[in-house]
Amino acid sequence: MKPTLLVLAAGMGSRYGGLKQMDGLGPSGETIIDYSIYDAVQAGFGKVVYVVRESFREQFEESVRTKYKGVCCPDGEPIEFRFVTQELDKIPEGFTPNPERKKPWGTAHAVLMAQHVIQEPFAVINGDDYYGKASFHILADWLREHEQSEGVYSIVGFKLDHTLSESGGVSRGICAYDEDLHLTDVVEHLDIKKEEDGAVRGDNSLTGEHVDLDGEALCSMNMWGFTPDYFAKSEEIFKTFLESNAAELKKEFYIPYAVDLMIRLGIGKCDVLSTPSHWFGVTFKEDRPAVVEKFKEFAEEGVYPTPLYQ
Residue 62 lies inside a defined structural domain of this protein: yes
Q: How many domains is the chain built from?
A: 1
* The residue type at 34: D
**CATH number of the domain encompassing residue 235:** 3.90.550.10
CA atoms within 13 A on the CB side of 201: 10
Residue 292 lies inside a defined structural domain of this protein: yes
Residue 21 has pLDDT above 60, yes or no: no
Q: Which residue has the higher pLDDT, 55 or 215?
A: 215
Q: Please state the φ and ψ torsions of residue 291, each to the nearest 5 degrees.
A: -70, -40
Residue 210 lies inside a defined structural domain of this protein: yes
Residue 19 has pLDDT above 60, yes or no: no
Residue 79 has pLDDT above 70, yes or no: yes
Residue 205 lies inside a defined structural domain of this protein: yes
Prediction pTM value = 0.93
Which burial class, exposed, middle or buried, applies to 89 when counting CB atoms under 10 A from its CB (0-12, 13-18, 19+)? Answer: exposed
CA–CA separation, 205 and 270 (whole Å): 22
What percent of the chain has a predicted confidence (pLDDT) above 70?
Answer: 96
- In terms of phi and psi (left: phi > 0; alpha: psi -120 to 50; beta: otherwise), the region of 76 is left
Q: pLDDT digits over 62-76, tens only?
A: 888 888 888 888 888
Binning pLDDT at 50, 70 and 90, where does residue 12 land?
very low
- Stretch 89-116: mean pLDDT: 93
Q: Of the candidates 44, 46, 48, which has an alpha carbon nearest to the alpha carbon of residue 84?
A: 48
Give the pLDDT score at 16.
37
- In terms of phi and psi (left: phi > 0; alpha: psi -120 to 50; beta: otherwise), the region of 164 is beta
Q: pLDDT digits over 118-171, tens only?
A: 999 999 999 889 999 999 999 999 999 999 999 999 999 999 999 998 888 999
Residue 101 has pLDDT above 80, yes or no: yes
Give the pLDDT score at 22.
65
Residue 85 lies inside a defined structural domain of this protein: yes
Residue 310 lies inside a defined structural domain of this protein: no
Give the pLDDT score at 111.
97
Query: CA–CA distance from 145 to each of 40, 122, 126, 210, 227 (Å)?
Result: 16, 12, 23, 40, 11
Binning pLDDT at 50, 70 and 90, where does residue 184 land?
very high
Residue 303 has pLDDT above 80, yes or no: yes
Residue 102 has pLDDT above 60, yes or no: yes
* The residue type at 262: M
Domain that holds residue 228: 4-300
CA–CA separation, 44 and 310 (whole Å): 20
Preceding amide of 307 cis, omega within 30: yes
